[in-house]
Amino acid sequence: MEDSSERKMVVVSAMAKVTNMMYDLIDRAQSRDDSYELALDAVFEKHKLTAIDLLDGDELASFLSTLSLDINNLKAMLRAIYIAGHATESFSDFVVGYGELWSAQILSSVLRKGGIDCNWMDTRDVLIVTPAGSNQVDPNYAESEKRLKNWLLQNPSQAIVATGFIASTPQNIPTTLKRDGSDFSAAIMGALFRAQQVTIWTDVDGVYSADPRKVSEAVILNTLSYQEAWEMSYFGANVLHPRTIIPVMRYDIPIVIRNVFNLFAPGTKICRLPVSEKEEKQKLETYVKGFATIDNVALVNVEGTGMAGVPGTASAIFGVVKDVGANVIMISQASSEHSVCFAVPDKEVKAVAKALETRFCQALGAGRLSQVAVIPNCSILAAVGQKMASTPGVSATLFNALATANINVRAIAQGCSEYNITVVVKREDCIRALRAVHSRFYLSKTSIAVGIIGPGLIGATLLNQLRDQAAVLKEKSKTDLRVMGILGSRKMLLSDMGIDLSKWKELQKEKGEKADLEKFVQHVHGNHFIPNTVLVDCTASTDVAEHYHDWLRAGIHVITPNKKANSGPLDKYLKLRTLQRQSFTHYFYEATVGAGLPIMHTLRDLLQTGDKIIRIEGIFSGTLSYIFNNFVDTRAFSEVVKEARAAGYTEPDPRDDLAGTDVARKVIILARECGLELELSDIPVQSLVPDPLKATASVDDFLQQLPSFDADIANKRQAAEDAGEVLRYVGVVDVTNQKGLVELQRYNKTHPFAQLSGSDNIIAFTTERYNKQPLIVRGPGAGAEVTAGGVFSDLLRLASNLGAPSF
């Protein structure tokens, strides 16, 4: 009623379940089951109640009169079938067609009631078809056009409601277009009218790139070519019956698949040239539109040396299959002609194999044929797309996705029509194969499966940052960072499709399982649907760092703020970096030195562009930066330490910061990055923990006794003050002399190191290019937000470097 088209035709099916009810009536009657009468009453009541709901007045009375007459006729016909114990095909077609007749009459009455000039058409008066075998019919367009012209002269109206599914033979005997016939009827009528468009109203938003019940990330396709839709429907996609497309192709009439329950969805347009090809040139998605599967098939392989070069062998094989009445879904033949392999439905394979063994009994006995082998329990997976077979990279991407998912391909077929590549896989691998290839083509090329190890302060902050930013990254930069697992010290949370980061803590409590690092890594890396994997180690654990080498070797990228691997034993470090540089697997550790500051990135850029590092000097500890920035005037050192601890700047035991070991680890990381082969023990460290307090058992005892040692460091502050200088705790990498050190130094109050505030870090790079004036990097160097931000930036760096050599 709301459609603005000037003239329109509506083709209707029977009401829900009515066609099955009509077939059931015939089955009961020819089985001489008296209950067919009760079943017919149920059909009558269903249509009567519907009419009462929708119609009134003369329209209702007229329809109920027609319905009663039809039901009485049906009773007589079913009685005849009951007596004969058999129903001919034409008799059955006549009976089941009533559902469409009633549906069309009710809808046309509803439209007239709404003020629309409307007639209903019994398409048996217009549509003429010829049986074509194999449960199919061919439309007779010339005769149908002639009858349509006559019908329109006798029934002029702005709208027509026509029956789908039913038609007549050239002898005017009622018949049907078989199952899914209403769509076929609509396409034929569209062709007869030379319509501008045929819209198929269904219960889905359009044609999906894959079955959404099997692939949750399947997307609605905006456009498909006729051939693409044809291929997808042949291979089991719930789109259209392949023959529905034939009539409209003749006149380039587009078909649109729409959802009657979601009028806001634009649907999928099937036409000669998909618009998206013009919009999305160069993308693989342009060429691979969708994936479809056929389950429950078996492979039959006929092989033998006697087949090579012998004319008629293939003809004999498929002649046997035809005689059995089996449907060959796919054929694959080796160019050597040594074997012919084809797929048939599982339920038909035994008969096919037996018939082949009988037909080729002599050849098998003589050894010209070695075997007729059956491989049961298979599925067919088809990738469909226009011109994809002639596009470089499509086949490689498809088979690489299957190989990555550890799926074995049993047979391959690729027609020169360039519209599909078909593979046969084990039935149990089918859904996994479908998801693997779909994700490879439809997920962003920078889709990364992320595993977070250590959801403590930094890890939890990173998860929150990912939660807030993931959707933006996916939309704007096509970067899909999907957290597939979170591993804590006691529990881990795993997901097959990605964890909902808005409630990961609750999910970990509810669904978390016992922590198992090996199982965790296997899960995150073994998902097969996302081509790239990264493990983010947010712990300070040496044990976790020990696994980096194995992970990199397995093709897993590693990102970490954990300093243990890069500052640990030199031989392990060198082995790790050598492996990394030989591969395309990346290892990023920006946050190991300056939290979110771009220190490692800056150093790497200087080195890779050929600059020579002379000296790196910096305040690397946010804790010690805060302490010495506030250790001024007459304030006691112990007082400032307690203040820093209360503000959360120090470790629970401040001695961990004051000992300088953390700064030494950062120095050794920078030194090794510059090519110095130093051990942590090679770095002299000036500890700020008084010797007598190093062995003190508790933190409280340490803080209680620390004031008694304030005088020594106060004297150093005073001496510096008298000289116009300040105290700063620094780490130094002296590349020229190949050494490093960590100590308390004095700097002039005009020096950049003296200008710091709060817990800021500052690093000065003196190089051949930056010799007179060092390159300075300054900013917050401590805190969960900036450290997590540094890790996040490494994740984005990884996304932009995927597929590139690792440095």
Tens digit of each residue's pLDDT (9 = 90 or more) over 347-366: 999 999 999 999 989 888 88
User: Residue 218 in contact with residue 272, Cβ under 8 Å?
Assistant: no
- Encoded tokens for 199: 């819209």
Beta bridge partners of 731: 618, 742
Of 152, 150, 149, 179, whose CA–CA distance to 166 is shortest? Answer: 179
| pLDDT for 179 | 67
Rounded to an integer, the average pLDDT of 475-488 is 88
541 burial (CB, 10 Å; 0-12 / 13-18 / 19+) is middle
| pLDDT tens digits, one per residue of 711-758 | 999 999 999 999 999 999 999 999 999 999 999 999 999 999 998 888
Summarize the confidence of residues 540-559 as an average pLDDT: 93
Q: At what angle do helices 98-113 and 89-96 cross, to 10 degrees?
A: 20
| Per-residue pLDDT reduced to its tens digit, 228-283 | 888 888 776 666 777 888 899 999 999 999 999 999 999 999 998 644 444 444 45
Q: What does the pLDDT look like over 648-700, one tens digit per residue? A: 788 888 888 899 999 999 999 999 999 999 999 999 999 999 988 888 778 88
Mean pLDDT rounded to a whole number for the chain: 89
User: How far is it, in rounded angstroms, from Cα 669 to Cα 665?
Assistant: 6
Residue with tokens 């930013």: 469
Residues 509-520, mean pLDDT to the nearest whole number: 93
Model pTM greater than 0.75? no
Other C-beta atoms lying within 10 Å of the C-beta of residue 379: 23
Query: Any idea what the Cα angle at residue 168 is, between residues 162 and 173, rounded to 5°?
Result: 135
Q: Where are the beta strands (DSSP E) in 385-515?
A: 411-414, 420-426, 446-453, 479-487, 491-494, 513-514
Looking at residue 416, its pLDDT comes to 58
Check whether 301 has a pLDDT greater than 80. yes
Considering only CA atoms, which of 382, 319, 378 is closest in space to residue 344? 378
Q: How far apart are CA 777 and CA 779, in angstroms?
A: 7
Q: What is the DSSP string of 677-718?
A: ---GGGS-B---S-GGGTT-S-HHHHHHHGGGGHHHHHHHHH
CA atoms of 666 and 680, how far apart (whole Å) = 10
Q: To which H or E segment does residue 387 belong?
A: none
State yes or no: is 575 an active-site residue. no
What are the strands of the beta sheet with 8-12, ordered from one edge?
A: 8-12, 159-163, 118-121
How many of the other CB atoms lie within 10 Å of CB of 306? 17
Q: Look at residue 236 in the predicted model and tell me its pLDDT.
A: 66
Judged against a pLDDT cut of 60, whether residue 589 lies above it is answered with yes
What mean pLDDT is predicted for residues 443-471?
A: 88
Percent of the chain scored above 70 by pLDDT? 94
pLDDT of residue 694: 84
Among candidate residues 666, 694, 716, 772, the one labeled active-site is 666
